Structure 1
Amino acid sequence: TFQVFAIAGLKTLITREIAKDPKLTDKYLVNGSVIVIGSTLFSLVGLFIFMRIMGYDQTPGLYVSLEDIKSGVGWFNAWVNQANTAHIILIVCLGLMPFALASICEAVFQGREQMTYIAYVNGPANIIRIVLILILTINGTSLYPIAILMFVSHVFVMIAEWYFMLRHITVPKLQFDLRFAVQQVKKSLTFLSIDALIAVFASTYLILISKFINEAAVGLFSSATQLVTPLVILYQSIVLSVFPIMCQRFDKDNPSGMKRISNTLLEILLILAIPMTVGVFAFAEWGLVFVYGKEQFAEAGEAVRLMALVVLMQSITAVLGRVLVASMRERVTLRIVAVNLVISLVLGIYFIPRYGIFGAAFASLLAMFVDLAQHYFPVAKMLNGVPLINLSWRPTLAAGIMAAFLYIMKDQNEILTIGLAIGVYFIALAILMIITVGSPQKIRAKYLGTV
């Protein structure tokens, strides 16, 4: 949550504005960096106040007693052994500053369509971070070294991304423009509100499950959502990569350019999302047991199926939401997120006490229908229609053929069946594409030529 306030809603704003006018790169980079330094300091002050209210400051100070040092365990080991919540939170949150500054770099990279630099840094950093945390966990270390590792990794990412920025993008003049910065802050408040509401929304069902049921149910619901989370990340990554082009194509007097690129992006995502949804429906219980290694996780199978439908609709709203932002309609997005939060809370309070994790998944599905409608109607009005049926019939028909194949192969080895089903789907889709679109050259022109 404090990361949201540290970035201050600037990331999406900077990406959009630089995509529209790359000449403003230096101005947004310098002023944005100064703003997030200030917002991070405010976030840390808020964190200290929160810790005091929660009583986390009633813990040993950052010192080690003389007796511990004399015992021969060493200063660092003695300090590690007195781990407490306050110190862990403080160490992790020291990473807010490098995280925020790195986020400004990433916004510039995205706006300039140079996302490869983000991958160059975050790919190795995430791999190293996971490996080291795994090693520390296996060796039974306390949380202190892990917290320090997280802080160091944020610093590394910041330094590496700024290196690429200064080496390959721009060496900005260090000129702070107070009036421009104030305008930035005003524009970013809507995005900050959106991010804050999304952060609250993300934990709504987990909090309600914990309150009305128990922690075991929280674990089951988390396992259901985590199984489909990679799909969400995939869809969001694809949309994010095209977002700068959407910003460039926006013309309030002529929406045809935005309509072409959004329709193409929607169809590409549906080509991926529809068969994945069918696959999750077919292998929900098996996937849970395969990933988590325990049979009791299969109890979340029905919840996973409902969450797969939620993710399918999210693949659509991800595109429509970016259309709204690229079209300078972020206030509509803010209204949508606020309504979603209220509806999710009401539905969760009603369904979770009665139906447990299935009720949470069902509430999420109903809320997602409302979310889709809220996105669809303003975008359809702006673009003179969003032809979802026309965009989805080919992948739906191909996925139906794949579903029939899965039914025939239901008693066979799951991994082999999944591999063959993927082949069946893409062969069926290719045949449909050739029949309805034409030669491979025409297919390539239809989907890649638009972007």
Structure 2
Amino acid sequence: MSLPVYSFRRIGVNAMAVLGGDVLNKAGTFLVYAILSRSASVHEFGQLSLGLLLLYTFHVFAVAGLPVALTREVAKRRRTARRLLKHGYLAAVLTSLLAMLTMIGLAIAMQYERQTVIVIALLALAVPPYALTMITEAVIKGREQMHLITVGNLPGNVFLVISSFIAMSAGYGVATVAAVIVVSRCITLLVMHRLLIWGTVDCRPGRLHPRLAWLLLRRSTVFLGTDGMHAVGAALSGVLLSKFASERELGLLGASYQLLQPIQMFYRSVGHSCFPQLVSAARTNGAAVGDLARPLLGLILRLAVPATIGVFCLAGDLLVTVYGNPDFRAGAVVFQIVAFTLLLDPLNPILGHGLWAMGRDKTVLNIVIVNVVTNAIAGVWLIGYYGLIGAAYTSIAASAINLLQHYWCFQRDVAKLHLGRELLRIVPPTLLAIGCLTLLPIHRYAALTIALSLYMLLAFFRLDLLTLGSPATQDSGK
């Protein structure tokens, strides 16, 4: 049984809402980086990059896999939203406090310089409010009220940007910016919670039962393993680089990753927004999940190529323009290398959520374990010998292994995707775009504009002559 047509429209609307919330969060963090890069050294920039890297890693352990479990439960029984929210809060309080203390302990154990430890310790205070915010967002996603996420993230990020600008203009350092981040997270939590309460007037909160909170934690264990291993893998390159090199190299790598976030956010928003629909499709069979995932994967693939080409060609100029500091041009080669992850990462959010929808939780966990092991082996070797460049190549290797595993497991456990024809359609416009960039004797900005315009024209608006000339079409014309 096929899914109703309006499912794709709803996914599109939800994706834009989730993307809006992610854009606000990433834009707030990005603007803080931009403000800091104009007022501080690359070394101080690297201190904040390291602190935020650890913060995002311990965020994963703080939520303990609860968001995925809650979203799936709420998608099945929407009227239990407030009851699940309350028990999700109880579970997340315990795990987030433990994660906060562990993050502080790690900073001390790694024997970073005193200022770096202070920054990390301050940022650790943002772990509990972030964890509770993620619980709230999970319930919102399960009810497909994603517009509340965009609205809820606005006040905290406005406070973050304005306060960071004032603090740096007044001569305060990175530690003050870290404190501002903590306050902004608390504001986001309060606003998001109030919006959800207003949006769930049809739900009864029910009584608080600690056993239900414990049951949620048990059900989310596999998701904690998946997210935790993924976070460790993502942070591993940065931690290794901070030990084999210095905060400066870590700052250059972090600057490149930050500029990739807008495109990565789009990938993630599509994955999050289609999850409730994938859960509904899974009630039918795996073929229904494949029918829903296939057109989304095709669209993402077509968008990934121009994004990669644009970032690769403009790498150095983007770093200098955005961060307002010529020292960041030293990271141009690294930025060009990691840009190829935009070709490898786009399918994973949809494939991963499809596996989760089908109950293949342990399969996703196994994928992430292999990714982390691969990342660790490649990272120790490449970063140990080649430093910053080695870290960039490590990210490419990890992305390639991740994609191959997701695609193979989806084909095996859910449905055949048959994306070969889609790939063949992308090849001609891609080759044409590359040819324009390398052969046209004009300024590279003009060549890039022509190349991407031709690609978009052929990839999205091409005239299918084979279809027009088919017998079925001719018969319909008669």
TM-score (norm 1): 0.81
What do residues 237-294 of structure 1 show as CA deviations (whole Å, max 9, x unaligned)?
A: 222122221122113x621210011111111111211111122333333433433455
Q: Distance in 2 between matches of 1:49 and 1:281?
A: 39
In the alignment, structure 1 residue 160 sits paired with structure 2 residue 188: no
| 1:127 paired residue among 158, 163, 166 | 158
Q: Is the 8 A contact 1:267 1:391 kept in 2?
A: yes
Aligned to 1:12: 68
Structure 1 residue 155, shift from structure 2 partner: 2.3
The correspondence of residues 361-380 of structure 1 with structure 2, limited to 5 A, is 361-380=392-411
Q: Distance in 1 between matches of 2:136 and 2:341?
A: 32
Aligned to 2:18: none
Q: Is the 8 A contact 1:30 1:172 kept in 2?
A: no
| Between 327-336 and 301-310, the greater mean CA deviation after superposition | 301-310
In the alignment, structure 1 residue 188 sits paired with structure 2 residue 220: yes
3-state SS of paired residue (1:140): coil
- What is the aligned-residue RMSD (CA, Å)? 3.0
Q: Which amino acid aligns with 2:255?
A: S
What do residues 159-218 of structure 1 show as CA deviations (whole Å, max 9, x unaligned)?
A: 211221111224532412344322211111111122222222122122223333444433
**Per the alignment, do residues 278 and 396 of structure 1 end up closer, same or farther by CA in structure 2, a change over 3 Å counting?**
farther
The correspondence of residues 207-356 of structure 1 with structure 2, limited to 5 A, is 207-251=239-283, 254-293=285-324, 297-356=328-387
**Per the alignment, do residues 213 and 49 of structure 1 end up closer, same or farther by CA in structure 2, a change over 3 Å counting?**
closer
Q: Which amino acid aligns with 1:202?
A: A
Structure 1 residue 117, shift from structure 2 partner: 0.6
| 1:432 paired residue among 454, 457, 462 | 462
Aligned to 1:34: 90
Structure 1 residue 50, shift from structure 2 partner: 5.6
Q: Is the 8 A contact 1:336 1:371 kept in 2?
A: yes
Q: Which amino acid aligns with 1:230?
A: P
Q: Is the 8 A contact 1:402 1:421 kept in 2?
A: yes
Q: Distance in 2 between matches of 1:297 and 1:44?
A: 32
Q: Distance in 1 between matches of 2:396 and 2:466?
A: 33
Q: Is the 8 A contact 1:11 1:103 kept in 2?
A: yes
| Between 219-228 and 290-299, the greater mean CA deviation after superposition | 290-299
**Per the alignment, do residues 46 and 360 of structure 1 end up closer, same or farther by CA in structure 2, a change over 3 Å counting?**
closer
**Per the alignment, do residues 437 and 250 of structure 1 end up closer, same or farther by CA in structure 2, a change over 3 Å counting?**
farther
**Per the alignment, do residues 371 and 425 of structure 1 end up closer, same or farther by CA in structure 2, a change over 3 Å counting?**
same
Q: Distance in 2 between matches of 1:206 and 1:117?
A: 33
Structure 1 residue 48, shift from structure 2 partner: 6.6
Q: Distance in 1 between matches of 2:262 and 2:441?
A: 24
**Per the alignment, do residues 172 and 35 of structure 1 end up closer, same or farther by CA in structure 2, a change over 3 Å counting?**
farther
Q: Which amino acid aligns with 2:67?
A: K
Q: Which amino acid aligns with 2:271?
A: V
What do residues 407-446 of structure 1 show as CA deviations (whole Å, max 9, x unaligned)?
A: 35564262x55445443322222342655778xxxxxxxx
Q: Is the 8 A contact 1:263 1:391 kept in 2?
A: no
Q: Which has the larger radius of gyration?
A: 1
How many residue pairs get matched? 410
Q: Is the 8 A contact 2:66 2:135 kept in 1?
A: yes
**Per the alignment, do residues 312 and 32 of structure 1 end up closer, same or farther by CA in structure 2, a change over 3 Å counting?**
same
Q: Distance in 2 between matches of 1:246 and 1:139?
A: 50
Q: Which amino acid aligns with 1:40?
A: S
Q: Distance in 1 between matches of 2:456 and 2:429?
A: 8
**Per the alignment, do residues 142 and 395 of structure 1 end up closer, same or farther by CA in structure 2, a change over 3 Å counting?**
same
3-state SS of paired residue (1:176): coil
Q: Distance in 1 between matches of 2:413 and 2:87?
A: 33
Q: Distance in 1 between matches of 2:352 and 2:208?
A: 32
**Per the alignment, do residues 308 and 437 of structure 1 end up closer, same or farther by CA in structure 2, a change over 3 Å counting?**
farther
Structure 1 residue 140, shift from structure 2 partner: 0.7
**Per the alignment, do residues 148 and 429 of structure 1 end up closer, same or farther by CA in structure 2, a change over 3 Å counting?**
same
Structure 1 residue 398, shift from structure 2 partner: 2.6
Q: Is the 8 A contact 1:250 1:257 kept in 2?
A: yes
In the alignment, structure 1 residue 96 sits paired with structure 2 residue 152: no
The list of structure 1 runs, each at least 4 consecutive aligned residues, that deviate by more than 6 angstroms after superposition, is: 51-56
| 2:421 paired residue among 390, 393, 396 | 390
3-state SS of paired residue (1:328): coil
**Per the alignment, do residues 234 and 20 of structure 1 end up closer, same or farther by CA in structure 2, a change over 3 Å counting?**
same
TM-score (norm 2): 0.77
Unaligned runs of 5+ in 1: 60-82, 439-451
Q: Is the 8 A contact 1:6 1:96 kept in 2?
A: yes
Q: Which amino acid aligns with 1:9?
A: G
3-state SS of paired residue (1:203): helix
Higher relative contact order (CA 8 A, sep 6+): 2
3-state SS of paired residue (1:315): coil
Q: Is the 8 A contact 1:351 1:360 kept in 2?
A: yes
Aligned to 2:22: none
In the alignment, structure 1 residue 21 sits paired with structure 2 residue 77: yes
**Per the alignment, do residues 259 and 358 of structure 1 end up closer, same or farther by CA in structure 2, a change over 3 Å counting?**
same
Q: Which amino acid aligns with 1:426?
A: M
Q: Distance in 2 between matches of 1:266 and 1:241?
A: 14
**Per the alignment, do residues 177 and 384 of structure 1 end up closer, same or farther by CA in structure 2, a change over 3 Å counting?**
same
Aligned to 2:6: none
Q: Is the 8 A contact 1:313 1:368 kept in 2?
A: yes
Q: Distance in 1 between matches of 2:104 and 2:256?
A: 34
Q: Which amino acid aligns with 1:428?
A: L
Structure 1 residue 363, shift from structure 2 partner: 2.7
